Each structure stands twice: as structure tokens, then as C-alpha cells.
Amino acid sequence: MGLGQYLHAARRLNHISRWASDFMHVRSSVSEHSFLVTQIAQMLGIIEEEHGNSVNWEILYKKALNHDVIEAFTGDILSHVKNKTPKMKAAVADIENMIVDELLFTELEEPYKKIYKNMLFSGKDETLEGRILKYADYIDAMLECLTEVKLGNNSPFKHKYQEIKEKCSRSDLVSVKYFLDVILPEIDAII
């Protein structure tokens, strides 16, 4: 018991919208976002390997595919809200843990409970794969903002775009630098 509940929760991500508090011309669901983050993470991983870094693909894919499954239980808690202060970030993490423990992990048997708990809660760690996921998530958000800006929806997306781009520019990952220098200008010309 429990694995079916996990799949049912993952399907709910099709109906949870991103950027819930903002008007958008093009709105995506959390599941669409997760797919695109996985594609971006894959691209960043390939670039990292082309520059001599070793990527654990199994871990990267598990982290990317599952990084927002918790939102099936909590909804999309806005990033600027949950990361407002370290205290708020810790409180949101505690709430997410409690809700997922109560609604998913009480029904999930071992060894699956341990496997899924690790995938859901250790995504953006300090490993190469965790750092790739962190920036893949930023990049997808940045591309969503860029699309909105190109469609004339400047407030608040122009500011958010610049804010996220600044975070990405501080990354030490060669793949993120390559994205900003080579891929982003290409995307900017397409959109």
C-alpha cells in the first residue's frame, strides 16, 4: 500500500498552477515545470560532463523528476514567501515534512518509504547533482519570466527575471555559465 497513492499525488501536479498569486499570459502546471526542470538538468549535466565533471545520472534524474512532488500535498508555496527568512524556510520545511509524513509516508511500506523520502527531501543538496537541480529550477523560472516579459507582462516578471538571473550568475557551475553566455541569448532571440 502507498505506491499507488504516490502516483495519484504525482498526477495531481497536472492541476496545480505555478506563480499562483501573479497574472500570467502563459501559465504552466507543476508537472510541466518538473518535466522542463528535468530537461534543463539533463542539459546542464551533459555540459558538466563535456567539461570533465562526472554526473551520477540516476541521482540527477531522481532529484529532478521528484523535486516538486511535495506540492501535490501542500500546493505551490511561493518561493519568495518560503525563503523570506531562514526561520520561515525552516518552518515551511517542517510543515512539508509533517504533511507528507501524514499523507504519504504512513501508508508507504519499506523499502519504498526510505527511497521516496530521500528523493523528495534531499534534492537541492551540495552534491553536483543537487546543485544542477537548484540551477535547473532557477533557469526554468527565469525562462517563464522571460516569456511573460516578452508578452508585455513586466510587473512583477521583469524584476523576478533579473533577480533569478543574478542568482544564476553567482553559480560556479560551468554549465550555468555556459547557459547564461550561449544558450540564454539564443532563447531570448526565439521567444
pLDDT digits (tens, 9 = 90+) for 128-186: 999 999 999 999 999 999 999 999 988 899 999 999 999 999 999 999 999 999 999 99
Give 81's contacts (C-beta < 8 A, 6+ positions apart): 88
Where on the phi/psi map is residue 2: left (φ > 0), alpha (ψ -120 to 50), or beta?
Answer: left
The number of C-alpha atoms within 13 Å of 178 and in the hemisphere containing its C-beta is 15
Q: Which of 30-39, 44-53, 107-116, 164-173 has the lowest mean pLDDT?
A: 107-116
DSSP 3-state assignment of 13?
helix
pTM (two decimals): 0.89
- Domain spanning 3-190, CATH class: mainly alpha
Give me the residue spans of the domains in the chain.
Answer: 3-190
pLDDT grade, residue 126 (50/70/90)?
very high
| Contact in structure between 12 and 72 (CB atoms under 8 Å) | yes
> Residue 108 corresponds to which cell in the numbers above?
508507504
pLDDT grade, residue 73 (50/70/90)?
confident
What is the separation of C-alpha 161 from the centre of its chain, rounded to a whole number of angstroms? 16
Q: Whole-number mean pLDDT of the chain?
A: 89
Q: What pLDDT is attached to residue 168?
A: 98
